[in-house]
């Protein structure tokens, strides 16, 4: 099983300007490297056989003849040294014109030639002086290198034995126009877009170029591989940095360091199944193809497993970063921005709901845990935003049999510091009487003849292995919800991870009138609380929030041991949230099947190591 992963190489090699024999020999050497890395495609820069900056030498027959000979040597070499697709750049003479072309080669055969569509002839560029644009091409095929070869900007290359791979090709400036050829190629089915480029470097151009590539890969929902010529081009007028990038649906997969004096390359695995899944789930992508329908000729070929990552091979290791916590940006600046945006979305959503219900009292159960703390922060900021008095907010803290002194004190201290009025209702007497009415024997304890304090004392002696009583837990959860529902408009606290797992009590904490946390995964809730602490509040609120962020995640429903020991751990029951959120992200966002998600989990590093058995368990 492949899961749609495909390995490709992008090269910015050393160059001998107008030295076609050197360039072709060097290309062949690099193909050997690509084969050793099990790549299925090797992409080289624009006019890499001759060099981009040959200027009026492009008018010379001698250069064109040497270029054709060099191309032929690469074609012959691909019969032995490389099994995948090879894309090289060279001038091609046809229809009494010269075209700046990408030559697509596979196992000793030229599959097709794609001429550049848009030739820059402005500012520092003079390409129309040497070349004709693709639109001037009259022939659909050209006789070259001992074969009749399809030529045109209407070519796509489809792997018949790997349907996820359809290759589109454009050249440098083609990307920079308002509607690049790759846009039409993607709408015709291309999943892997390639660009052979010779993009010079001036101050500020590199980040713009990078954003252009990322944006095009996102817009087309495709992989975009980009290879540009480097520092050995002529520097008479320009300097070239050899920029190489691989992007996937707007995500940067790999990028090199520019201005290398030696060869520069990227080798990475791209996920073409992800591309297909995203397109299927985005209906407007297919709608757009009807409005911009261009006819393309599809050239078929057989990959014969070249570049296809077979996950059944035990040593399969993906050459791409698999982010262990996809909901939580690793970059601190990005994480801060993400938290700010999420918090503002939560506030905006709740504000609209509160404005709609008028002056109805609102209420929240505050436990001193992460989720209720985040909801409390959202409520406070929302009331400030819409200029509502805190007097309309009636919070509750409802300690039960599993409540720790740490969480209870944090809840009360935080509400007091925020200026939120609250009541404390000890639910233990209410729950104790309900258990008696039901003739329930919690943990096999006969309670009908006991008083509450005696019962609490006995609970502390229940062995850890016997602390399993769903009725005991649910009575507490439903009692809390009943108190809240009879008090006002209930703000919920359950997060996305809990809702996805069903980690809640039916007819209890799974209900509310509005829940600002319902789309926030657990791994992000902690960072949101920390962000609010560090960016919105001073002491003592900051310290309270930071302490809450370090609290063990627990529903606090099972009884404690002596001195608040044996605290109930959610993750001990349902598994690590970092795993659940990883699984959830790839299931919801990428529509991957369980086998692929498990494979991805083996390819990353979580906060702690997990065996394959543990990964399968959760």
Active site residue ranges: 46, 116, 172
CA separation for the pair 294, 184 (Å, rounded): 7
Virtual torsion, Cα 552, 557, 561, 563, nearest 10 deg: 60
Sheet holding 244-248, edge to edge: 251-255, 244-248, 223-228, 192-197, 166-171, 155-159, 297-301
DSSP state of 313: S
The Cα 170–Cα 195 span in angstroms is 5
Residue 319 Cα distances to 7, 9, 246, 307, angstroms: 8, 11, 12, 12
d(CA 201, CA 514) in angstroms, rounded, equals 53
Helices 541-549 and 405-418: crossing angle, nearest 10°?
150
The whole-angstrom separation of Cα 27 and Cα 15 is 10
Strand partners, 100: 91
Cα-Cα-Cα-Cα torsion 445, 446, 452, 456, nearest 10 degrees, comes to: -10
In 485-555 the beta strands, taken as DSSP E runs, fall at: 489-490
Torsion, Cα 142 145 146 148, to 10 degrees, reads -20
Alpha carbons 149 and 107: distance in angstroms, whole number: 14
CB 180 within 8 A of CB 193: no
Cα 526 to Cα 95: distance, rounded to the nearest angstrom: 65
Task: Output the CA torsion sign for 240, 246, 248, 251.
Answer: negative
> Helix (H, G, I), strand (E, B), or coil: what is residue 239?
coil
Q: 194: which strand partners?
A: 169, 225
Asked whether the beta carbons of 106 and 79 are under 8 A apart, the reply is: no
* Cis before 540 (ω within 30): yes
Burial of 17 (0-12, 13-18, 19+ CB in 10 A): middle
CB atoms within 10 A of CB 179: 8
């Amino acid at each position: 099983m492949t899961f749609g992963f495909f390995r490709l190489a992008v090269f910015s090699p050393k160059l001998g300007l107008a030295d076609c024999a050197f360039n072709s020999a060097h290309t062949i050497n690099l193909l050997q490297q690509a084969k050793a890395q099990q790549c299925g495609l090797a992409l080289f820069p624009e006019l890499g056989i001759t060099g981009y900056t040959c200027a009026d030498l492009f008018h010379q027959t001698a250069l064109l003849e040497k270029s054709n000979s060099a191309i032929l040597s690469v074609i012959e070499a691909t019969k032995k040294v490389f099994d995948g697709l090879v894309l090289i750049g060279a001038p091609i003479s046809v229809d009494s014109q010269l075209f700046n072309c990408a030559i697509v080669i596979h196992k000793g055969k030229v599959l097709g030639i794609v001429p550049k569509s848009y030739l820059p002839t402005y500012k520092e560029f003079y390409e129309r002086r040497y070349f004709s644009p693709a639109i001037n091409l009259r022939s659909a095929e050209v006789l070259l290198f001992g074969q009749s070869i399809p030529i045109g900007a209407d070519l796509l290359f489809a792997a018949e034995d790997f349907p996820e791979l359809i290759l589109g090709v454009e050249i440098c400036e083609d990307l920079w126009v308002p509607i690049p050829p790759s846009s039409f190629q993607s709408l015709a089915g291309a999943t892997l877009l390639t660009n052979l480029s010779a993009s010079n470097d001036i101050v500020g151009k590199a980040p713009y170029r990078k954003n252009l590539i990322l944006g095009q890969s996102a817009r087309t929902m495709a992989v975009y591989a980009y290879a540009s010529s480097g520092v050995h081009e002529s520097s008479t007028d320009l300097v070239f940095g050899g920029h190489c990038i691989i992007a996937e649906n707007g995500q940067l997969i790999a990028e090199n360091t520019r201005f290398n004096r030696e060869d520069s390359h990227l080798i990475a695995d791209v996920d073409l199944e992800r591309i297909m899944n995203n397109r299927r789930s985005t209906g407007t992508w297919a709608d757009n193809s009807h409005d911009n329908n261009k006819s393309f000729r599809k050239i078929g070929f057989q990959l014969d497993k070249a570049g296809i990552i077979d996950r059944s091979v035990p040593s399969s290791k993906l050459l791409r970063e698999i982010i262990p916590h996809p909901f939580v940006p690793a970059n601190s600046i990005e994480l801060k921005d993400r938290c700010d945006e999420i918090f503002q979305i939560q506030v905006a959503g709740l504000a609209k709901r509160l404005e709609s219900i008028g002056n109805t009292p609102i209420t929240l159960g505050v436990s001193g845990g992460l989720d209720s703390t985040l909801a409390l922060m959202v409520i406070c900021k929302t009331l400030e935003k819409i200029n509502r008095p805190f007097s309309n907010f009636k919070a509750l803290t409802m300690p039960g049999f599993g409540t720790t002194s740490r969480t209870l004190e944090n809840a009360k201290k935080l509400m007091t510091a925020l200026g939120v009025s609250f009541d404390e209702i000890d639910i233990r007497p209410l729950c104790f009487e309900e258990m008696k009415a039901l003739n329930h024997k919690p943990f096999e304890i006969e309670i009908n003849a006991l008083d509450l304090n005696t019962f609490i004392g006995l609970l502390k002696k229940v062995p850890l292995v016997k602390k399993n009583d769903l009725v005991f837990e649910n009575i507490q959860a439903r009692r809390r919800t009943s108190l809240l529902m009879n008090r006002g408009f209930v703000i919920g606290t359950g997060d996305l991870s809990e809702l996805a797992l069903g980690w809640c009590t039916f007819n209890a904490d799974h209900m509310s009138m509005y829940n600002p946390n319902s789309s926030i995964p657990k791994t992000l809730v902690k960072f949101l609380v920390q962000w609010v602490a560090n960016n919105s509040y001073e002491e003592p609120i900051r310290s309270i929030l930071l302490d809450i962020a370090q609290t063990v995640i627990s529903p606090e429903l099972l009884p404690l041991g002596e001195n608040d020991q044996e605290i109930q751990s959610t993750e001990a029951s349902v598994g690590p949230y970092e795993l659940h959120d990883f699984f959830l992200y790839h299931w919801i966002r990428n529509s991957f099947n369980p086998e692929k998600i498990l494979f991805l989990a083996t390819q990353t590093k979580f906060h702690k190591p997990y065996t394959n058995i543990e990964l399968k368990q959760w």
